[in-house]
Amino acid sequence: MISSTASTQSVAGNYSKSATESIFGRLNYDFNNKYFIQGTIRRDGLSSLGLDNRYGNFPGVSIGWRPTQEKFWKLKFFNDIKIKGSYAVVGNPLGGFGYLSTYGSAPYGNIGGISVSNVGNPALKWERSKKIDIGFEATFFKNRATLTFDYFKNDIDQIILAVPTPQSAGVPGNSILKNIGTAENRGVELSFNLDVVKKKDFNWNFNVNYTHIRNKVTSLYPIGNTPAREITNPGSSPYNIIRLGESIYSLYGYRYAGVNAANGNPCYYKADGSLVQRNAATGAYNYLLTMNDPNVGVATTLTNADKAVLGNVNPTFFGAFTNSFQYKDFGLEVMFRYSGGNKIMNVTRQEVLLNQKFANNGTEILDRWTKPGQITMTPRLYYANDAIVNQNGEATSRFVEDGDFLRLQNIVLDYRFNKETLSHFKDYIKSIRLFVQMQNVFVWSKYKGADPEAYSNFGVDATVTPALRTTSFGVSVGF
C-alpha cells in the first residue's frame, strides 16, 4: 500500500501465517445393511492458541437404522427410509494470534517509536460446539422423490469475545480477548428433491431446501468476579450488544419516534415510553407531549439507559430452490436463494445518503421536513449537523432495516455435443460442453441499501461493497 500526503510518501503492508494440525480416526460398522454406527475422534492443534491450550480432543458418534429392511415393514409407497442421529464435539476455527501481545509504531512526543498495539491472552482456549442432530431420509414415489429432515441443537462453549476493559488500564482498544460465554443454536433443516418429469428427451428436476435457526446467548462468565448479563460495544462496535437471552451481536440503540410535524426535529422514545425531541441546531433534548407540539418541554437527556435491542443480525431462515431442465442436448438450470429474519444497521444511509452537507445525497433527502404540519419520517435539514440530526455513531430504529431477500442467484444454459457428433473425434475428445452463465442476476428486497447481504459480522452496512453481477461464456472439453 502506498499513500501520499503533501510531499510525504510512505509504504506499509502486513503478512501473517496460521496453521492447523490434525490427527483423526474413524470406525464404521454396518450390520446387514440395516443398522449403522460410526465413531470418530480428532485431535486438532491451532496456531492461533498458546502452547498450553493449542491442542484439543473432539469425539463424535452417529447411528442409523433402515426400518424398510425389516420384515415387518409393509408400506410399499416408501422405497427406503433411514432414521439417524448423531452427537459430536467440534472445535471452532479461529483467526489471528489472540494469545500474543503485539507491537506497532507509535509516537513518543515528536519522536517515532513502538508500543503495545494488542494485549494478548495466553489463557485462550478452543471454542467448542457440542452438536446433536436427529432426522431421517426418505425415498418414495418409485425413487423419484427424496425428503430429508434434521433437527439440530448446537451448544457453543467457551466463546471468545472482546471483553471491555477500563480506559484507565491503558489496554489498546480498551478490550482483551477471553473465553467468556456460551450460546445456543437450534433449528431444523428440510430438503426435498423431485424428478417432476422423466422422459426420453425431456427431464425436469426440482430441488428445494430450507433452514430455520435460532441463536441466543445462554451465559456470560463473570468478569472481575461480577456476574455479567451483557457486554456493550462488543468488538468496539457501538451498534451492538451481547446480552443473555438475545441473539449474539444484537443491534442496540435508540427507538426512533419520527419527526415533530411542528418544527421538523427528530424524536425518540425514552426507556419509560415518553417522547423526547432533539433540537437539530443545538443537539439539546426536551420532553414532548405529541408529535405535533411546537412547545419546548422540560430539558432531558437520551442515555444508554434508554437504548433497546433493535433486532437480530443473524438470519433466522434461509435456503434455495432450483429447477433443472434437460431437453435432448440442451440444459437449463435456474437457482434462487432466499434469506430473512435478520436486521441490518444501514450506516451508509445514515452517514452518506442522508448527510447534511448536500454531498451526493440519496433521494430520501427530498422527503425531509420543510414546513409546519408536514408529516414525514425525514427530519429537517440543518447544514453540517449530521451527528445531531441522524444520531451518527449510534444505532437507531430509523436506520435498522429488514434483511429479507429473494435472489435470482444463477442461470446456466448449456449444450452438450451428443455421442453421434463426438464419434468423429472419438480418438481425441470424450465430451464437449458449451455454456453461458449469469450469477447474481437480480434481487428482490425492501432493503434500501445496495445489497441485503453486504454487511459485516455485526450486521452493519457501512459502505460495504455489494456482490457483482457476472456473465460468463465457456467451453468445457474432456480429452
Please report whether residue 95 resides in a domain: no
Looking at the structure of the chain, the number of domains it has is: 1
Please report whether residue 96 resides in a domain: no
Strands 250-259 and 395-396: parallel
The predicted pLDDT at position 2 comes to 47
Please report whether residue 6 resides in a domain: no
Interatomic CA distance for residues 87 and 37, integer angstroms: 12
Kindly state the cell numbers that stand for 148. 430429508
Residue 478 near residue 430, CB atoms below 8 Å: yes
The predicted pLDDT at position 5 comes to 47
Could you tell me the mean pLDDT of each successive run of 10 residues in the chain, 479 residues long? 53 74 95 95 93 94 94 87 96 86 85 87 93 96 95 94 80 85 95 95 97 94 75 88 94 97 97 96 95 92 96 97 96 98 97 89 94 96 94 97 98 90 76 93 96 94 91 89
Please report whether residue 356 resides in a domain: yes
Residue 431 near residue 415, CB atoms below 8 Å: no
Interatomic CA distance for residues 332 and 330, integer angstroms: 7
Residues in the chain: 479
Q: Which residues pair with 244 in a beta bridge?
A: 217
The predicted pLDDT at position 12 comes to 65
| H or E element in which residue 421 lies | helix 419-422
Please report whether residue 403 resides in a domain: yes
CATH of the domain at 216: 2.40.170
The predicted pLDDT at position 14 comes to 66
Interatomic CA distance for residues 259 and 390, integer angstroms: 12
Residue 300 near residue 381, CB atoms below 8 Å: no
**Nearby residues of 448 by Cβ (< 8 Å), 6 or more positions away:** 346, 349, 364, 401
The predicted pLDDT at position 18 comes to 79
Interatomic CA distance for residues 159 and 216, integer angstroms: 13
Domain of 402 in residue numbering reads as 19-90+129-478
Interatomic CA distance for residues 188 and 138, integer angstroms: 16
Please report whether residue 12 resides in a domain: no
Q: What is the pTM of this model?
A: 0.86
The predicted pLDDT at position 223 comes to 65
Kindly state the cell numbers that stand for 77. 409407497
Interatomic CA distance for residues 343 and 239, integer angstroms: 12
The predicted pLDDT at position 3 comes to 46
Main-chain phi, psi angles of 160, to 5 degrees: -90, 120
Please report whether residue 418 resides in a domain: yes
Please report whether residue 420 resides in a domain: yes
Three-state secondary structure call for residue 284: coil
